[in-house]
Structures are given as C-alpha cells and as structure tokens.
Structure 1
C-alpha cells in the first residue's frame, strides 16, 4: 500500500513483543485510574448501553504523554516521528497523542469520518496519524477500516454521531468502493492522512482492543493551531472531544 496513493499504509512493526508489554502495563494504569486523567478521559461511545463491568464503551484519553511524561523516554514517540517525517516531510512534529480502548463486548462502532472534519482549516493540510495496535487488532474487535484514495476527495459533510460522546460521522459504509479492513498484530501500526475516510466496528470479543495513536503535522501548522486556541485538550480541556478525531 502507498500512503500517497491510498491515504493509508501499514508500517510494519514499531514495537517489539517486550516493548508492547511495557506499553500495555502503562496503558492499564490509565484504564484503572491509577494514572489520573481528569477531563482528558471520555467515552466516545457514551449514550450506548454498557456492559455492567465496563467504565466506558470506547475510552479516549487525550495527551497520555503529558499525563505520564515517562512515555516520552520510551521508543514509540521517536519511531513514530521518524515515520511521520518520511511520510509527510522533515518538518513534522507531534501535534497530539491519545489512547483509545474498546472494552470487551462493548460492540460500539466508531462512525465513519475524516479526521480533518474535526480540525481547523490550515493552509498546509499535511498530517498523519500513526495508529499502533497493542493487542491483536481484528475485524471482530475493531480494527481500522479505510477507503482507498478518499484523502484526495473533498471533506464530506459531517454531523454529530448518535453516541453522545462528541464523535462525528459522515455518509459511508463498508460497501463503499475501496473500503478495506486493516487487521494488525500487536506492535504493528497503520498510518493514515487527515482526509482519509475511516471507521472501526465495535468490539464483540472478550478482550480489549487497545490502541495508541500519535498525530503529526508540520511544526508551523502546530504553532498556528496553538495561536488559534486549538491544543487538542492539552490545556483547553473543553475541546478535548469536540476537536479531536475519534477512532
């Protein structure tokens, strides 16, 4: 797969099996509340019935690297940045990171959308999200789906999703020409552009679907975002869900 042509590309292994275990241990401290997330934690599947033992259907935690700075000393941020610079240019820097976990048996889908529909309209639209699987990511537990070439088409009309969790959606389906599921083994990643249509099914399995997502864009555009008040929930917490892209 070609990132430029398709709007997404599998990147191969970014984390070894041992490194995955290290990230899982930290991730679970976020999920259990051992690392306090405050307003940076939300349920992207709010409004949908939860299993009795589930805190959220789709747990989104913004800025894990700010909440737990030791993450920055681990290899993922460096490797993902190297990847981003190969894909969109040497001026790429981290815009934000987040964790998204689909609870066992939650079966709540993340609606079809384009990330750029959440974001400010910037003069340089280059952006890449690196989606890293920390569990085996399958069609049944919510692996990513993409529509090939959709990043080269206009942003579609979006509206609030019915989950009540701040997500948005657009008209698309698994029957859309070019719609492709991308299952991944633990430690592997897929990168996608800001305009690429994507979604994931709910988790119908008995295990978690834990993902670590890192978003990159040109340094000048990150600076412009911050000047305009967009920090993806780093300080301006009321924008944590409304202005970030759910997956």
Structure 2
C-alpha cells in the first residue's frame, strides 16, 4: 500500500479514481476465483442477495445478463479472514480518511457473451444524502478486464461536480443510469490485469461495456467504504445496501440494486 506515498491519494482527489496495480497476488486471485465461482454455481446460496443488474436490458439472455451478489462477506464470512478486506480497508483509509469502514461489498460478474453494458452512473445516485459524502469504491478485477470483456470507464474530475439526475435503466431493471458517453471529456477506459484494482469516489461518473468475449468471465469484487459515522447514519435511516433485505433506498429512482 506504499503507492500512496507516490501520489496515489492526490490522484484520487484530483481525478476521482486511481489504479492499484497489485492488490492481490496471482495465488490469492486463484483463491478468490474459486470462492467466487461457488457463488456463481449456487454452491454458496445467495438467496435474495443475488439479482440480475442487467434485467432491464433489451437483451434476452438464457441466464443473468449481469450477475450481482450483495454482501458476499455476510453470506460467506470466511472472506473477511482473507487478505482483501484488510488491504482494501487500509487503502480506503489512505484515500478518504482514518475513519473509513466497510459499508458493503458485492460481486458483479459478466459472463462470456453476455454483452450487456452497465449504464453510465454515479454510485452516489443510488445513495441517500449524507452530511459527509466521502466514499471509496474499490473495484478488484479477478480476470483480465479489457474493452471487450467490460473493463471500467471513468470520467476524470466528474466527482467534483454534482450528482446528475438518474433514472431506471432499460425497461426498469435493477440498474439506474444518467447522461454519459465514452466521448465525454475526461472519459478513459481502465483495463486491469487479475489482482489489480481501481478505486473511485461516490460521484465519479463511470460505466462498462458488456462482455462480448466468448471464452472468459469478467469477475469483479467491489468493496465500498465511507466514514463510520455516516454508515451509522445510513443504518439509522434504514439503508443497509440489502444486508437485511433486498430492498435498497435510492436517491432519484425506484431501482433496487447498487451499480458497480
């Protein structure tokens, strides 16, 4: 985590996102993949925590267009004993402050040939208003994430602007969307190798293309952090990101899922 001494935190504050090259080793990636695939196969039961984030898409998939599983660490607590949660927490505290704690985690998988994009959005579009909006979403790639498989795109500096108006994506599936484009000034694709991660702020505009490859998944493990006092305030207002139910509060729409 010594990358912060090389300007990691300053780049996060300036651009609204930053890349971390080696958050997990190749051996650790293999371990997380094996657990992840147990979720995907249903061996680890997710119940109502498992949804199709691309359910509103026009695409008619034989399975889930975009598989989303909320709170994997609550469903399989052994995950918290593995390296990622500790490393991600230390990274989040470097980026947004020593009071950062885990707000929620989730898995988002784009299967080969699923080809369903995640719409442009800001994570803050899913959240309630809080007096302190510091947040860091740490998006960890367990596969080679490319343009064709659905790597993340970010708009540098967009976190410094307001939360844009969001609305239900597609035909009213779980996702929400706002205005955004790959041609927007500051938009950049961020391919990642397995074990690398990208951290972004709550207002950072981002999206990803669908997975058009025929031979590889695009598995991501996302951990979101915010100040402990703000997590407590969220919980007081009934927002736990689906930890106790599959109903989530949303700032500007009736959508019920988180974005990546």
TM range (shorter): over 0.9
State the match for 1:90 in structure 2: 98
State the match for 1:11 in structure 2: 20
Alignment partners' CA distance in 1, 2:171 and 2:115: 12
The RMSD of aligned alpha carbons is 1.4
Alignment partners' CA distance in 2, 1:8 and 1:195: 10
Q: 1:173 aligns with which of 181, 189, 196?
A: 181
Report whether the alignment pairs 1:22 with 2:35.
Answer: no
Q: 5+ unaligned residues in a row in structure 1: which ranges?
A: none
State the match for 2:208 in structure 1: 200
Alignment partners' CA distance in 2, 1:59 and 1:129: 18
Shift of 1:166: 1.4
Q: 2:240 aligns with which of 227, 231, 237?
A: 231
Q: Secondary structure at the match of 2:88?
A: helix
**TM-score, normalised with respect to structure 2:** 0.91
Q: 1:63 aligns with which of 51, 71, 77?
A: 71
State the match for 1:40 in structure 2: 49
Work out whether residues 129 and 193 of structure 1, in 8 Å CA contact, stay in contact via their aligned partners in 2. Answer: yes
State the match for 1:245 in structure 2: 258
Q: 5+ unaligned residues in a row in structure 2: which ranges?
A: 1-7
Aligned residues: 245
Shift of 1:239: 2.0
**TM-score, normalised with respect to structure 1:** 0.96
Q: 1:119 aligns with which of 127, 148, 153?
A: 127
Matches within 5 A, 1:179-194: 179-194=187-202
Matches within 5 A, 1:157-168: 157-168=165-176
